[in-house]
Chains A and B, each alone.
Chain A
Amino acid sequence: MGTKIYDCISRIAERIIDNKDYLTDLDREIGDADHGVNMARGFQAVLEKVPPDNANIGEVLKKTGMTLLSTVGGASGPLYGTAFMEAGKAVAGKESLDAGDVPVILNAVIGGIQKRGKAVRGEKTMLDALIPALESFTEKMTASSDVFEAMDAACAAARDGVAFTRTIRATKGRASYLGDRSIGHQDPGATSATLIMEAVRDFLRG
């Protein structure tokens, strides 16, 4: 057991490692069959390198991002690395978070991924899960002020986003070489982004 933020990061890491083969199989269909292997390697390193006793959330998120940068290897390294580092900057110095920090973090994550990947919504990427998740979180939070319900809504929207990626053509990354043949397959990046969201939701539920 470590600090809460360490435990949360550990839950994310375990979820990714548990889904290594699933993510790799998805990537075999439209990519280079390394997404699960790469992500599991990165999050295994996160478990080893992130100090369990640091309560500074910004620092832990930045360390997670730097570790992913140097260990993932594929495009997900810079993308998730930048996402976690930007999230860390957005909550720099904090030792606790509340519901208001969720959209701040998601905005930083989305901004980081957009900056790095130069993608927009609808290009069959992790953004197709994350942007609807942010929208649904904000909507539900405004309606009910219940962070757990809002996280459920965000995860459901991310799942719908993953389903949506099946219907569209990839225009970014390795899958874009397949053109129309990428239609019918779900995006591995959108899937891993959703797994991360769900791991955070489950962590918050305890």
Chain B
Amino acid sequence: MVGLVIVSHSSKIAEGVCDLALQMASGYRQMIPAGGLKDGSLGTDPTRILDAIRSANDGNGVAVLVDLGSGIMSAETAIDLLDGEFPARIADAPLVEGAVVAVIEASTGASLEEVIHAAESAREKKSCNPIIHFHT
């Protein structure tokens, strides 16, 4: 199965997102949080993200979801450091909604491409509802 890494500046956010998303697929074992720095402070650490990506991989590749700003840059750095060892990609998706959708998709044995696509489609699901409701 495709692995998932949840990157946040805060370890609590990363762990919380994993808890929430895993409610949807409790048997799924390849979702790894990578939040905060090793010393517990706020921030993102490419080497920690790299370790999480390696732990999440069972040979089918890893999708990475990130929160904001330097999280993206740190995840890109981690993937560069991986140096093509196996496929890993960042999903351009909202963290919480993307993680929930990605877990469902990954736990069914979908490909990395499909997991990324599903996570990215969570953006539309989130943004359109209130606006449509408001205007009709």
Contacts and interface: CB of A to CB of B under 8 A. Distances in A.
Contacts of A116: 73, 76-77
B64 to A, nearest CB: 14
Interface string A71-101: 1111101110110000000000000000000
A81 B38 contact: no
Query: Closest 10 A-B residue pairs measured CB to CB?
Result: A73-B43, A75-B70, A70-B47, A78-B73, A78-B77, A69-B46, A70-B45, A73-B37, A78-B74, A74-B70
B54 interface: no
B11 to A, nearest CB: 12
A38 interface: yes
A73 B41 contact: yes
Interface of A: 38, 66, 69-75, 77-79, 81-82, 116-117, 173-174
A73 B69 contact: no
A69 B47 contact: yes
Contacts, number: 50
Contacts of B20: none
Interface of B: 37-38, 41-48, 69-70, 73-74, 76-77
Interface of A is mostly: helix
A75 B9 CA distance: 11
A73 B45 CA distance: 6
A72 B38 CA distance: 11
Contacts of A72: 43
Given A77-B70, A78-B77, 19 more contacts: A66-B47, A69-B45, A69-B46, A70-B45, A70-B46, A70-B47, A70-B48, A72-B43, A73-B43, A73-B44, A75-B73, A77-B45, A77-B74, A78-B46, A81-B46, A116-B73, A116-B76, A116-B77, A117-B73
B126 to A, nearest CB: 21
Nearest to A176: B69
Contact of A173 (B43, B44, B48, B69): B69
Given A71-B37, A173-B69, A174-B69, A77 B76 contact: no
Contacts of A117: 73
A117 B69 CA distance: 10
Nearest to A70: B47
Contacts of B76: 78, 116
Contacts of B38: 70-71
Contact of B44 (A77, A79, A82, A174): A77
B79 to A, nearest CB: 11
